[in-house]
Structures are given as C-alpha cells and as structure tokens.
Amino acid sequence: MSIPADDRVQVRFSGVGGQGIVLMGRLLGKAAALYDNKEAVATQSYGPEARGGASRSDVVISSQPIDFPFVTEVDVLVAFFQEAYQRHRGRLARGGLMIVESDLVKPEHDGTEICPVPATRMAEDLGRKVVANVVMLGYLVGRTGVVSRESLEEAIRTTVKAKVVPLDLEAVEAGIQLARTHQQQKADEAAAP
C-alpha cells in the first residue's frame, strides 16, 4: 500500500500504556504538519493507569484542510497488543493496512493485508526495548510513504531528548529496512510463476 500525497489518511496506533503509543501519534502528526507541509490532527485516548491500560493515538493527515479531527475509518492500523488489535480491527477500512507487533499480536487472516513487525526484538537488538515504537514508525513510513523519512527524522530531533536521538534514528532506519525487505518479498512472490 502506497498512499498518494493528496489523499486523506487516517492512522490509528493502539496498544497499552508504556509502549509509546501517544508519542507515535505526536511524531507522525508533527512530521506531516511541520515538515511535510500537510494538514494533520492528532488525538489520543488512554486509561488512568500510567502503564498497562489501553492506549490509542489517532492521526489524520491530508493535503486539504481537515474539517473533522477524529478518525472515522482507519486506513492504517498499528497494533502493539492483542487486546488493542481485537478492539480496533473492525474499524479498518476495506483495503486498509494492518501493521502488528508480531510477537504480541496474532491476527486472524481474513483477507486484510497484515504486516508483521517484530519491533520489540528489533529494538532490543539496537540496545533498548523502549524504541520499539520508533521501529514501528520507521516501518510505517517505509511501507506507506504517508510522510517522508526526512520529516519523521526532523520530528524526532525536535521532540525527544538529544541523547536519545541517535538511537531513535537507528530505529527508524531498522523499520524502513524491514519495510523494504517486505516489499521486495511481496514483489518476488508476485513475479514467481
């Protein structure tokens, strides 16, 4: 799935508190609005628990003014936890894309395009499990092109603490590389006799 630059795109990040779900929405919205010159609105919802409660972050991106700030039909669903997947999968638009944390979410294969991403393991390989959310953002950008890589990297540089930036940029690269690998595998499968 590649998203044309002039389309309205509705992205939902879902998981539990402590997985960086709200930060994902903030970074994606900032990348779109400040550095890709698009319109963007980000909203979030989370339980009263600091960690472990349900967490959701929605981002609407468009080249046109956004007159309704809430996600009505999810074009891209990113699920970090099984319960979040169960809760939000019914909102995925026909032809939408589902990206799941493959070690934590076991999706039902119902014809939806599903991209399994072992974001937590990838983050651990980079040295800190806490950047799993940024690995997933890198994958989202590499897979969809909803914002440019450069805008995401600039959003990171201007949002997170300076000492974390190098690791986050490595996490973006890891996610983008996995997206490219998945795209190549898909192309190879399509070309096979």
Predicted local confidence at residue 55, as pLDDT:
85
Predicted local confidence at residue 11, as pLDDT:
96
Summarize pLDDT for 65-79 with one digit per residue, the tens.
998 888 989 999 999
Hey, what are 148's tokens? 């440019």
Parallel/antiparallel/unpaired status of strands 54-62 and 9-16: antiparallel
Angle formed at CA 86 by CA 83 and CA 87, multiple of 5 degrees? 85
Query: Partners of 151 in the beta sheet?
Result: none
Q: At what angle do helices 165-191 and 149-157 cross, to 10 degrees?
A: 160
**Secondary-structure class of domain 9-191 per CATH:** alpha beta
What's the distance, CA 169 to chain centroid? 15
Predicted local confidence at residue 2, as pLDDT:
45
- Round the average pLDDT of the chain to a whole number and report it: 90
Predicted local confidence at residue 112, as pLDDT:
85
Of the pLDDT bands very low, low, confident and very high (cuts 50, 70, 90), residue 52 is low
- Domain extents in the chain: 9-191
Predicted local confidence at residue 5, as pLDDT:
43
Of the pLDDT bands very low, low, confident and very high (cuts 50, 70, 90), residue 7 is confident
Torsion of CA 180, 186, 190, 193, to 10 degrees: 100
Summarize pLDDT for 71-109 with one digit per residue, the tens.
989 999 999 999 999 999 999 998 899 999 999 999 988
Summarize pLDDT for 25-49 with one digit per residue, the tens.
999 999 999 999 999 999 988 765 5
